[in-house]
A and B are shown apart, each in its own frame.
Chain A
Amino acid sequence: EDQVTQSPEALRLQEGESSSLNCSYTVSGLRGLFWYRQDPGKGPEFLFTLYSAGEEKEKERLKATLTKKESFLHITAPKPEDSATYLCAAVRGATNKLIFGTGTLLAVQP
């Protein structure tokens, strides 16, 4: 069965304290791995798409990487405005149906 698992469920960091979020997947025929950021009560905001193992993408303080079994979202020197829930999602098969993980709630304290 296709599955996407994120860890940790919640992460509290001090401002400037770098860390990584994990997204493990067991999806046959992966067509893409996506990262989204979601603020409370708002829709998910697209961050990155990754396709092949070894691929890396960067945006400001965020860097996403992909291996054959997992993806990491590295946050370098986070700021309080980086506080949000980070969702990863995989796509496989004949339709563009996203298989979401349960998310990591990140809180960055000043």
Chain B
Amino acid sequence: DTEVTQTPKHLVMGMTNKKSLKCEQHMGHRAMYWYKQKAKKPPELMFVYSYEKLSINESVPSRFSPECPNSSLLNLHLHALQPEDSALYLCASSRTETPSAYNEQFFGPGTRLTVL
């Protein structure tokens, strides 16, 4: 099973709201990722967690706050977002963070976020 699940599928929020995106995997993977994807563009890496610890933050604004409560779960807390933050937010996981040809990242279906 190579499934990564994400909830919700769609989210509409105002600029003053606080919301959270959730990602889950049960493949025993120890690396989890958040990506942002705008229309007709490739995914852009936001955060990497390795063994539940934040490993990479790609200079993401503080209005995005990641959290990894355990090895299967990854959350992205959203606060005071801007309309330009509207995008498809993708979660991915891999066995570890160590780069190798056989450490593929598997992506979830994404959350379509609209900020009004």
Interface residues of A (CB under 8 A from B): 31-34, 36, 41-46, 49-51, 87, 89, 91-98, 100-103
Contacts and interface: CB of A to CB of B under 8 A. Distances in A.
Interface size on B, as a range, is 20 to 34
Contacts of B94: 96
Contacts of A96: 31, 48, 94, 96-99, 103, 105
A102 B2 contact: no
A43 B97 contact: no
A43 B90 contact: yes
A102 B110 contact: no
Contacts of B107: 36, 43-46
A32 B97 CA distance: 13
Main secondary structure of the interface of B (DSSP, over half): loop
B56 interface: yes
B45 A98 contact: yes
A94 B97 CA distance: 8
Interface string B29-72: 00100000000011101001000000110000000000000000
Interface in B80-116: 88, 90, 92, 94, 96-110, 112
Contacts of A100: 42-43
Given A34-B104, A41-B110, 5 more contacts: A32-B99, A43-B110, A46-B2, A49-B104, A101-B42
Given A41-B88, A42-B110, A97 B104 contact: no
Nearest to B90: A43
Which of A33, A43, A100, A103 counts the most chain B CB atoms within 10 A? A43
Nearest to A98: B105
B100 A31 contact: yes
A36 B106 CA distance: 10
Closest 3 CB pairs of A and B: A51-B101, A100-B42, A32-B101
Contacts of A98: 43, 45, 105
Contacts of B88: 41
